[in-house]
Amino acid sequence: KQGAPPGGPEDARIGAAPMRNAPGAEWPSWYAEHRVLPYVRGAVDRGVLRPAEAAVFERVCARLPELAGPAEPPARLHGDLWNGNVLWAADGEVRLIDPAAHGGHRETDLAMLGLFGCPHLDRVFVGYQEAAPLADGWRDRVGLHRLFPLLVHAVLFGRGYAEQALTAARETLAR
């Protein structure tokens, strides 16, 4: 299921922000209910997003079943996979730290990994495609999967991230 990993908490955190991992059956509705809309509301409450701007995200959420691509079984996600949580050891090993683990769509971690820059990202994508190929059109869905981390950052750090989230939402709607 989407949400909490087995034995994991339903009430979790991503950085300093609360994150709800309630179980859900289908990723599009779960992503809207537990990853996009709570942070849209939080950004509006903090004055980071204007109430009228929330409608852009609501339109994305209403169209998520068609925008999400082919249905996939839930994947175990790191949940906060950005370059700062990837440790590149001298021995060539890679270690992941500071997870916000949950069940979700596997494209989400990959989209977030590229959001703030990641060394060797092209190699990561090639290796991922070799091990577990992504569905056609995955590159077109990157912005959709970045809505969650961008909105979390908007809530925590302000308007600049809200602008990025709005751009990603508008580009998602235009596809």
Q: What residues are annotated to the active site? A: 80
Q: What angle do CA 15, 24, 42 make, to 5 degrees?
A: 40
How far from chain centre, in Å, is Cα 43?
16
Question: Which residues sit opposite 14 in a β-bridge?
Answer: 17
Instruction: Tell me the pairing of strands 86-88 and 94-96.
Output: antiparallel
Written as six digits, the tokens of 6 are 């087995």
Sequence-ordered list of residues with C-beta below 8 angstroms from that of 23, at least 6 positions apart, any chain: 1, 2, 3, 4, 10
